[in-house]
Each structure stands twice: as structure tokens, then as C-alpha cells.
Structure 1
Amino acid sequence: MMRQAQVSDLPEIMAIIAQARDFLGAQGIDQWQNAYPAQSDIAADITAQVGYVLIHENSGQIAGYAAVLTGFDKIYSDISDGYWLNDNLDYVMIHRTAVSSAYRGQKLGQAIFEEIMTTFSDYTDFRCDTHPENQIMQHILTKLGFEKRGTVQYEGPRYAYQKIVKEDK
């Protein structure tokens, strides 16, 4: 189950972000190795009501986090080495995704994306980006039907992914 993050969730979310930062660093990936995402970034997500937490079904604990924005992102307008599948300016963007180390290996990264696509089922266009060396995220995105569309710039080059969900007719 996924729900909007609350200010009271901030310490648990930041612990998950720290675990993800350590996990990426241990793999030699420089993603998130500086100040981003900082507590102020996550607090801003919560204030803007775009922060979401994944609740583990058995423990009831926060197991993951993602920021889910809708609309248009200027960063995504400048794509190189490829192109978006459409010129849509109203899409779902999934950012700052992290899973608690306590639940790693339980496919909860995949579950976060599935929950987001269910929660935002009024949308048909989903976009995300990830570090070129983040093989785990690339695997999750590909498994869920996202296609690599090119490269965007956010803290350096990031592979841009898109999934178009067919509308029921």
C-alpha cells in the first residue's frame, strides 16, 4: 500500500535515503553521493504533497519512498541521444525512489512503481530517469515496460525512461 508522506514520516524517510545512498556508494555509483536528496528536498516533497511512502504489508512499516510529480518538467524537455514517444506536457514523473535496506531483495522497488501507476491511473504517460550505472533501477524499469528514451541532465547525465499505458476503450 502506498500513501502520501507526512511530516512525521521524515526521520524514517531520511533513514531510507541514507541507506540507499550507502547502497549506491558501495556499488561505486556516484548517484546521491553528495547532498542530494537532502532533508530539505524531502520536506519540500511532503509540503507539496508529492512525497509518497510504501507501507510493507506484513510489518506496517515504511519500506520505501518516492516523489511523484505531475505536469511538465523543464529538465525533461532537453533530451539527447533520443526522444520522447510523444509531445505530451502532462505526465507523471517518478523521482527520489528508495527502498529500506530492511526490505531489499523483496521486489519493493518494483512495487513502488506499480503502486504509483495504479494510484495515478488517470495518466497514461509515466517518465523517470536514473544514473547510467544504476543497473538495478534500469532492470526494474525495463521489467515494468518502461523504455529507455535518451539522456537528460540532472546531477550529470541520467538515462530517461518512459512508459505509455494504453487507455481502456
Structure 2
Amino acid sequence: MALIYMRKAEVSDIDAIMEIINEAKALLKADGSPQWQDGHPNKEMLLADIEHGFARVLIVDGNVAGTATLMTTADPNYAKIEGAWHDTVDTYGTIHRIAISSQYRGMKLSKFFFSNLISDTYAQGIYHMRIDTHKLNQRMQHLVKEFGFEYTGIIYVPDAIDGKRLAYELNMVK
């Protein structure tokens, strides 16, 4: 069995992170989704995630196998929703920019990574999570539903092609 764990990303991880993000962009494009096809996430955005302590990497046998951003501050894109958040009072964590390297696809690592991101949030005393995805990103919709996230409505993100996103929320028991 491989040694698998999650840790905060470091600047030295940026090349591996960018490679994974670029592979994910190609996969989304092949799936027919316009998500991530307008140039983001880009290196500057990902370096900012690292600088703020939000970036995480999934490590498999010493190699960066996945990347994600776990924001623990309010996401301005979530301030307005067509629908309703279940919890509008408590602090929430947000998963963004999650991707697994093509070298590790098929190993169910996205589930392992999601579980670790949720546990990280919970360990920080944050019991509410949010995530969004494009309506054509069936892979992400399937994953969030598997983890008990509930669809709450539509939000909009800055995207030159199509900024409309399906919003999901997970409220955990303390």
C-alpha cells in the first residue's frame, strides 16, 4: 500500500501543481465543459493560495498527486446566490481548484482527498463547507453528492466564458 497523506502546499510544489491543473483543464475540455477554459486557475492565483495558507497537496509515495484550495475565509462569490444557503451565520470552508494528476486517476484518490479536506476543516472548528462547479462537470457533481453536499442554488464567478455555477453546501454535526 502506498503512503498517502495531505499537507499544506509550498512554493516548491508550484510546478507539480501547475502540471496537475493543466491536465485537469484538458480533461474538462474533453468532457465538453467550459470550466477552467478561460486561463484560470493560473500560476499567480495558485501562488496566492499557497501564500495565504489555503493550498493543499495530496502526496502519494512522496509525489504530488493532487491539489486543492481550502479557503477558510468568506468567498465573495458566495455572497449572492439564486437559491439559499442553509447556514448563513457560521464560518464555512470552501473547496476550490481540486484536481488529481492523470498518473493517479482511477485510484479513488479524489474521495481520499475530499475526506482529508473535510477533516482539515472540521479540525479547524469549521463545521460548514461550500463548493461550486459548472453544470457540465458531472465528475465533481457526483463526488460532492457522494459526500453529502446538498445543492443550494446558482452562484456566479468571474469567468470569461461561463461564470454560472451550481452551488453546494455541507453542514456537519459538531
**TM-score interval w.r.t. the shorter chain?**
over 0.9
Deviation at 1:60, TM superposition (A): 2.2
User: What's the TM-score once normalised by structure 1's chain length?
Assistant: 0.94
Gaps of 5+ in 2: none
1:149 to 148, 152, 172: 152
Instruction: Output aligned runs, 1:10-89, within 5 Å.
Output: 10-56=14-60, 59-80=61-82, 82-89=83-90
Q: Give the percent of matched residue pairs that are identical in Structure 1 and Structure 2.
A: 39
Q: Which amino acid aligns with 1:35?
A: G
Aligned partners of 1:112, 1:157: CA distance in 2, in Å? 25
Q: How many residues align?
A: 164
**Match for residue 135 of structure 1?**
138
Distance 1:148 1:107 in 2: 23
Q: What CA distance in whole angstroms lies between the structure 1 residues aligned with 2:167 and 2:155?
A: 6
TM (norm. structure 2) is: 0.91
Question: Which of 144, 163, 167 is the equivalent residue of 2:170?
Answer: 163
Note the C-alpha offset of 1:106.
1.6
Deviations 1:21-69 (CA, angstroms, capped at 9, x unpaired): 011111111111121000001111111111100112xx32111111111
> C-alpha displacement at 1:109, in angstroms?
1.6
2:106 aligned residue: 105
- Checking the alignment, whether the CA contact within 8 Å between 1:72 and 1:89 is kept in structure 2 is no
Structure 1: distance between partners of 2:76 and 2:90: 10
Give me the CA root mean square deviation.
Answer: 1.0
Q: Secondary structure at the match of 2:111?
A: helix
Structure 1 contact 54–62 (Cα < 8 Å) conserved: yes
SS of residue matched to 2:72: strand
Q: Which runs of 5+ in 1 are unaligned?
A: none
Inter-partner Cα distance in structure 1 for 2:89 and 2:105: 34
Question: SS at the partner of 2:165?
Answer: strand
- Displacement after TM superposition at 1:71 (Å): 2.6
